[in-house]
Structure 1
Amino acid sequence: MELAQIWAVLPAVGAAASFGSAGLLQHRVSRQAPPSGPLRPRLLWDLIRIPAFRWGVLLGALGFALQATALSFGPLSLVQPILATGVLFYLGIAAAVMRQSPDWRLVGAALLTTLGISGFLVAAKPVQSGGHLHGLIWPLGVAFAGVVVLCLVVATRLAHRYRALPLAVAAAVCYGVTASLVRSLVSGVDVATLFGQWQLYAVIILGPAGFLLNQNAFQEGRVGSVAVAVITVGDPVVSIIAGAVWLGEPLASGPGPVAAQVISLLVMTSGIVLLAHRAQAVGERIRGEQGEQSDMPEVQ
């Protein structure tokens, strides 16, 4: 790992902590607002009136600033998987707030997640690039847009309690694409030409859209915990794809490294899914409210 990439790790960990804290606050208050359809700004207006949500927004903004700093030093394939550790920070903060002893199944799932992330970084050997967009920019962009539109269409046709899953996929795509565009801005564009770059305006649209979809997913029914896992895993996966295709940040090739990367991502995904489901059970036990969904973290 190059020296610049080492400097990327510190703000990436800070971003993960900020996003985990923000997710705790946001998810705890998301159902206090009246239900809202996908991409309707009314939801944010209702939520922003709640003080705890405003603190969550400030922590999320801090996380985004730290994420942008990390991306100025390291490639997407290094920074984005680290952000998935926001789920670990969430669990620690939630346990401290509720004054509960650690749940060892949660700890085990958290360690499994960390193992998957570490294994991927070791196997992938992320490569630093100049951050300039090139290659199949528009074809892949259209493909990502198509996935978001399809998810929104599916969400409108599903029963209320099942809408969280397609909304989470759409949010993950928005977050992942936003991260790749931020990477191109902070590493390949200077301040003098910043406002002339289309990526800036795409970030201004996609970032809030992903945030709004995330809040919509938080409000939805029984698969809410699974939706959080989808966002946590989907964000770095989309970022890695965009980084390889758009920014020339290839991962280590060859049968061995590729197999190790796939296995590591599967381990990470399994750990996060186990975290989601176990946290739901622990939350229900603590609150004593049968059928109530537990609070789970939001990761970018």
Structure 2
Amino acid sequence: MHTWLPAILAVLAALLIALGTVVRQRESAESGAINARWWLGAGIAILGFAAQATALGLGPILLVQPLIVLAVLFALPLEAWADDRHPRGNEWAWGLVLVGCVGTFLVIARPEQSARRPDVATLAIATTAVIVAVAVLVALAEKSRSNHYRALFYGLASGVLFGVSALLVKSVIMRAMTDWHEVFSHASIYVLLVVAPGAIVAQQRGFGAGDLQTSFPAMNVMEPAVAMALGLLVLGEEIKVGVTTALFLGIVLALMIRAVIELARLAASRADTVHEHHLEQRIVKTAADPPHQRDATGREAE
């Protein structure tokens, strides 16, 4: 399989995920409710996840996940358009750093697809390790009295679970493409049905802590890191480079992570600002309405 097809699908997935996320964030900030536009954003994001799943089925995790990270970059002009502003210089600078790091990693590493499928024993070991790690993070989050650390630990937990979900999705898609009649007889799909909802719950708990600038970057960094590590260790995906080149790629990946953190932090900061702005508008509007036009529940009387 040529790598260009999964690469194109991964970039398309990143774009759709970014668009769906921006639509949902802005609609939630404006109306504070789940309405038709919110569901439109959710539908767009689901299409993005479907494109990501297809890309994972066709190409290596080490190719797909770095490209999915570009969703943080694609959100930059989309958020600027939604906020009726121009992106700032530091946003473009970190965006260029991210693109350069992703491109450099893929060109030098040249990740290769692996035909290995995780057997039951390997899957059990990986699942146990994830359960322990997530349990520790959740326990730390629940014991923390600081919203900052609560958001951090839940963001890390959701990132771990989303990273594992990428591995499980790839496992299910690979099996469906070759032995589709055995998909429901293998443990991967059932583990996925537990891990994916768990990731969403952890994500929402992190957002609910109120410190989006902490949980959002933690999740965006942990997801590709875990997925790529599992691709190497569990699926046996390879990058054929020497020691010196491997060290250089380590620096590139570290810089890529820094770029993702900065872009996610800026995005989270803007989301908080937009939410506070719309909340203030709703408060002012409610206070300005004459009392006789509202019933006991605060709704406008007919």
TM-score by length of 2: 0.82
Within-5 A mapping of 1:58-73: 58-73=43-58
How far off its partner does 1:252 sit?
Answer: 2.9
The residue number in structure 2 matching 1:183 is 170
- Is residue 252 from structure 1 mapped to residue 240 from structure 2 by the alignment? yes
How far off its partner does 1:177 sit?
Answer: 0.7
Counterpart among 138, 149, 173 of residue 124 in structure 2: 138
- Bigger Rg over Cα: 2
- Is residue 211 from structure 1 mapped to residue 200 from structure 2 by the alignment? yes
- Taking the aligned partners of 1:7 and 1:177, their CA distance within structure 2 comes to 23
- Counterparts in 2 of 1:51 and 1:57: CA distance versus 1, 3 Å: same
Matched residue of 1:269: which SS?
Answer: helix
Contact 1:22 1:57 in 2 (8 A): yes
- Taking the aligned partners of 1:142 and 1:208, their CA distance within structure 2 comes to 17
Contact 1:30 1:218 in 2 (8 A): no
- Taking the aligned partners of 1:225 and 1:257, their CA distance within structure 2 comes to 34
The one-letter amino acid paired with 2:261 is V
Contact 2:25 2:271 in 1 (8 A): no
Matched residue of 1:69: which SS?
Answer: helix
- Taking the aligned partners of 2:94 and 2:123, their CA distance within structure 1 comes to 37
Contact 2:221 2:261 in 1 (8 A): no
Higher alpha-carbon deviation: 271-280 or 146-155: 271-280
TM-score by length of 1: 0.82
Once the two structures are superposed, residues 109-157 of structure 1 have per-residue CA deviations (whole angstroms, 9 ceiling, x without a partner) of 1111112222222232211111511474332321111111111111101
- Taking the aligned partners of 1:148 and 1:233, their CA distance within structure 2 comes to 16
The residue number in structure 2 matching 1:297 is none
- Taking the aligned partners of 1:285 and 1:60, their CA distance within structure 2 comes to 23
Counterpart among 151, 167, 183 of residue 194 in structure 1: 183
Structure 2 runs not aligned, ≥5 long: 281-302
How far off its partner does 1:280 sit?
Answer: 5.0
CA RMSD of superposed structures (Å)? 2.6
- Taking the aligned partners of 1:32 and 1:214, their CA distance within structure 2 comes to 21
Counterpart among 75, 78, 87 of residue 63 in structure 2: 78
Matched residue of 2:3: which SS?
Answer: helix
- Taking the aligned partners of 2:101 and 2:202, their CA distance within structure 1 comes to 27
Matched residue of 2:2: which SS?
Answer: helix
- Counterparts in 2 of 1:159 and 1:194: CA distance versus 1, 3 Å: same
- Taking the aligned partners of 1:284 and 1:57, their CA distance within structure 2 comes to 20
- Counterparts in 2 of 1:244 and 1:254: CA distance versus 1, 3 Å: same
| Paired residues, number | 274
Once the two structures are superposed, residues 41-91 of structure 1 have per-residue CA deviations (whole angstroms, 9 ceiling, x without a partner) of xxxxxx7x4444322321221111101111121100000110000011111
